[in-house]
Amino acid sequence: MAGNISTDDRKMFLDRALKAADWFVNSQLGRDRAEWNADRGRFPYYYYMPDRQHVPGINWTQGRGLFVLSEAYKLTGKQQYRQAAELAVRYVAALQVMDPHYSQILGAIKEQTPQGSYAGALDGAQAASGLLMFEKAAGDADCLRRSRAFCDYLLRHFCSERGLPVSAEVYPQEKVNMPAAAGEYSCIGQCTAIPLWFLYQRTGERKYLPAVIWCADAVLPCQRSDGAFYCMPDIAAAEPPKPNHHTGRGEGDDRFILRNDDGIVVVILAAHMATGEPKYLDAAVAYADWIVNNEPHDRPLCGFPVQANNVLDIAKVAKKDYSGWVLDHLDKHLLSLQVPGSTDQRAEGGFRGEDEQDEGGIFGGTSLDYVTTRVTCYAAGTLFRLSGQGTGAGFSPFGLD
């Protein structure tokens, strides 16, 4: 992978990845009257630079911040990264249902706030993966306990017809929501299995593997003959999605293509690594070939770093080299999005690009007026990979290797 990158460029990539980690440190919420502030430890969903306003993050935001901070701490040993990660872990702990009264949803991680009711499984899985990354970096035993509680919640409801749960609800009564029927699921929803793979890697407990393999098998029917992935297995009766950070770009059926796939390559490669079956690696290579032949698009802005991470990881497993494609597009589609030399520490080092509201976010302006956790995490993962020292942590089948 990226064998022709110079020593100076590798250092530059690492420095810029660490600047992204610094952004998570400096933008972390709840600094004023910290002991009174329930946002303490929370990362911003995104930050609007012109007016210095922010939207507070949710469970997956915490997970992705933990991916970057855990990798930065592992590589540098700097306490600023560990301390910010510890505060982030405490916020995840406040979101998690650990009261044994809730026997069905015990271990689920609430979506928005500790007072909330809804707990999306895919987003909670990213928070649980973040806990496992920090446990690997810092040896925090409580992170392992909590991530296991989440994974055991998933396994309690896993079934061979419908797969993993979609969400849970706490109020007004305890409830677990499963896919409506066999075959009715989203492709990216199968990324809910990622922490199960990491927990298997961490503990060697094989009970976590069947659900990972089931989810990989559910991803494969979403693949087109050219290697791209649709957002669902059957698009025939579906309305094309509006432009967002996953899909909705292009014309006709291409609007169903995943540009930001939220980690499906982790699931596919994990199944290959667990079973050795070639169908998974074949699907991954076909996906990588499609990416380098058809991408990147200008939108979504988060698309390129996701795709770069995909092809770099696939190359590592398949013993191929897609690094030239990544390097050819790196300046325009990744490096140019980083905020350099700003006096505003809540912007400095982060990566711009808001894709959910099409051209802007809730405060107005344009997409490039927003520094986002989404792009910052993906881009830092690309840079850690290209530095030769990191893996991309929670969005890599190798975890925090």
Q: What is the pLDDT of residues 59-94, one digit of tens each?
A: 999 999 999 999 999 999 999 999 999 999 999 999
What are the φ and ψ backbone dihedral angles of 149, each rounded to 5 degrees? -60, -40
What's the whole-number mean pLDDT along residues 179-195?
Answer: 90
Read off the pLDDT band of 237 (50, 70, 90): confident
d(CA 351, CA 380): 9
The CATH code for residues 7-395 is: 1.50.10.10
pLDDT score for 51: 96
Give the burial string for 368-399 (b: 16+ CB within 10 Å, else e).
ebbbbbbbbbbbbbbbbbbbbbbbbbbbbbbb
pLDDT score for 2: 44
Structure tokens at 111: 């979506």
Do the beta carbons of residue 399 and residue 133 sit within 8 Å?
A: yes
d(CA 223, CA 202): 30
- Average model confidence (pLDDT) for the chain? 96
| Higher local confidence (pLDDT), 120 or 361 | 120
Read off the pLDDT band of 3 (50, 70, 90): low
Q: Report helix angle 278-294 to 264-275, nearest 10.
A: 150
Among the ranges given (176-190, 203-217, 360-374), the one the predictor scored with the smallest mean pLDDT: 176-190
pLDDT score for 32: 85
DSSP notation for 124-178: HHHHHHHHHHHHHHH--HHHHHHHHHHHHHHHHH-BTTTBS--EEE-SSS-EEE-
pLDDT score for 361: 87
Is the per-residue pLDDT at 359 higher than 90?
A: no
Structure tokens at 36: 């009174």
Do the beta carbons of residue 111 and residue 166 sit within 8 Å?
A: no
The residue written with tokens 């993962």 in the block is 381
The residue written with tokens 């492709």 in the block is 187
What's the whole-number mean pLDDT along residues 97-115?
Answer: 97
Is the per-residue pLDDT at 284 higher than 90?
A: yes
The secondary element (H helix, E strand) that includes residue 9 is helix 7-27
pLDDT score for 185: 87
Q: How far apart are the first and last CA of the chain?
A: 16
